[in-house]
Amino acid sequence: MAVAVVSDAEQPHLGKFLRASKAFQPGDLLLREEPLLRLRRWQDALAAANALRKAQLFVPEGESPSMRRLQQATASEADPETALFVRSVVHFNSFGAGPSGREQVVFPTLARANHSCLPNCLVDADLGTLRAVRPITIGEEVTVSYLDDAGLLMDVKSRQKELQERYEFRCQCRRCTSVDDTRRFSCTCGGDQLPERGRLRCQQCERSSEGSELFEAEEKAAKSLEAARSGDLEEEDEGHELMKCHRFTSKHPHHQLTFALANEFAFPDPEASQQAVLTILDLVLQMPCQLALETGRDLARRLAKNGKEEPARKALQQAAAVAMVLDGKSSIEEVLAEWGETRQRPVAVSKTSKTGDMESLVPEEETNWLQRQRKAAAKPTVKAKKSTPPAPAPASPAQPAEVLAKVGMAL
Ligand SMILES: [Zn+2]
Ligand SMILES: [Zn+2]
């Protein structure tokens, strides 16, 4: 087998985890497996209890906030003990699948993959596949992200908070234990300054500065964004807060707040926002991801619609290059041909992330798939307490075939 389930006596905090038995390149398939449970309705879950017991997947021992919540949720079930067991296994081990990632799927081996904010693999829970998104060496730990792509762009503190609340662990990945690569302040040299021990240090010219004014401006912008996110504001006030946040983000185009403003609110405008999302994803994550794929395709449609044919063609090519790795295709041409064939079927979202809690299994609102995707991408996967306000309705998207025709791609 290309992947081994192992444990390491010197690193007990890893539990049972996955290790690569050979080297892999981006796009390579490491594993494909059948699920133990594919949960669409909670009523179906109990039937899988035996299979889940045999698999011996991770469930935390003892008391914890999550376990207490799960206990409360299952207390009135006919068989509360079994219900609690199944619900805990699903809570800590499932991946999102289906349209909008609302179904919860548990796999026997994939569930062993640990989280990293710099993952080397991606799970497609619809297909049951584990695919490399970075080069992997023999013996390296195989990691996936439990956060969705937008979640990986949150600052270290917010990522730690989400992971702690939802999965009850402290992430010790490389991104969480060195300087925060999402808080990027522009330097006069054109490079990015990152916070380091309470000061700012430019990655390019290495100039170090106190940065207290910038930290203050950042905090204010973050508060404005938070207020806009709350959904409690009148439209006019929300716009006002977005504008205040934009005053900061327009000066720091690679900052995590710029990403959030663009991705969640398409602010200041859809085209600039999508460009910003793509730039920041590339800069920080440096790996192909579902959000880059969807944003790139949408941007290509938008550009083509606005008559910008060459940029549209470029955006589509880039999106296809991402899809080539994520779907394990042999060439960009193969991806483009397939997109021509499947123009009515949107790609599923939330492929990389583990799922939220059972409350994610709610009837789907009647929205077009673009809005749905944007919402799914904007919302932290894990336990979104605050509902993300709907993004401004995008202009009705051109069909890919139209775009392809416009940019001169043969179907
Ligand atoms: Zn991390
Ligand atoms: Zn500099």
H/E segment holding residue 115: strand 114-115
User: Quick one: which ligand is closest to 187's CA?
Assistant: 2
CA of 275 to the centre of ligand 2 (A): 23
CA of 152 to the centre of ligand 1 (A): 8
CA of 164 to the centre of ligand 1 (A): 11
CA of 174 to the centre of ligand 1 (A): 7
Q: What is the pLDDT of residue 60?
A: 82
- What is the dotted CATH code of the domain comprising 3-167? 2.170.270.10
State which residues have CB under 5 angstroms from ligand 2, the bound ion: 187, 189, 191, 202, 204-205
CA of 184 to the centre of ligand 1 (A): 17
CA of 206 to the centre of ligand 2 (A): 6
Q: What is the pLDDT of residue 340?
A: 87
Length of the chain, in residues: 411
The domains of the chain are located at 3-167, 174-406
Q: What is the pLDDT of residue 31?
A: 96
CA of 217 to the centre of ligand 1 (A): 26
Q: What is the pLDDT of residue 355?
A: 62
Q: What is the pLDDT of residue 353?
A: 63
CA of 183 to the centre of ligand 1 (A): 15
Each of the 411 residues of the chain gets a pLDDT tens digit; together they read 789 999 888 888 888 899 999 999 999 999 999 999 998 887 778 888 998 999 888 888 878 888 899 999 889 888 889 999 999 999 999 999 988 788 999 999 999 999 999 999 999 999 999 999 999 999 999 999 999 999 999 999 999 999 999 998 999 999 999 999 999 999 999 999 999 999 999 999 999 999 999 999 999 999 999 999 999 999 999 999 999 999 999 999 999 999 999 999 999 899 999 999 999 999 999 999 999 999 999 999 999 999 999 999 999 999 999 999 999 999 999 999 999 855 444 444 444 466 654 444 433 332 233 333 333 333 333 322 233 333 333 334 333 334 334 334 333
CA of 213 to the centre of ligand 2 (A): 17
Q: What is the pLDDT of residue 341?
A: 53
CA of 335 to the centre of ligand 1 (A): 32
Q: What is the pLDDT of residue 63?
A: 83
CA of 208 to the centre of ligand 2 (A): 9
User: Quick one: which ligand is closest to 203's CA?
Assistant: 2
User: Quick one: which ligand is closest to 145's CA?
Assistant: 1
CA of 51 to the centre of ligand 2 (A): 56
CA of 187 to the centre of ligand 2 (A): 5
SS (H, E, C) the chain: CCEEEECCCCCHHHCCEEEECCCECCCCEEEECCCCEEECCHHHHHHHHHHHHHHCCCCCCCCCHHHHHHHHHHCCCCCHHHHHHHHHHHHHHCEEECHHHCEEEECCCHHHCEECCCCCEEEECCCCEEEECCCECCCCECEECCCCHHHHCCCHHHHHHHHHHHHCCCCCCHHHHCCCCCCCEECCCCCEEEEECCEEEECCCCCEECCHHHHHHHHHHHHHHHHHHCCCCCHHHHHHHHHHHHHHHCCCCCCHHHHHHHHHHCCCCHHHHHHHHHHHHHHHCCCCCHHHHHHHHHHHHHHHHCCCHHHHHHHHHHHHHHHHHHCCCCCHHHHHHHHHHCCCCCCCCCCCCECCCHHHCCCCCCCCHHHHHHHHHHCCCCCCCCCCCCCCCCCCCCCHHHHHHHCCCCC
State which residues have CB under 5 angstroms from ligand 1, the bound ion: 117, 171, 173, 176
Q: What is the pLDDT of residue 40?
A: 85
CA of 390 to the centre of ligand 2 (A): 37
CA of 152 to the centre of ligand 2 (A): 25
CA angle at 401 for the pair 395 and 407, rounded to the nearest 5°: 85
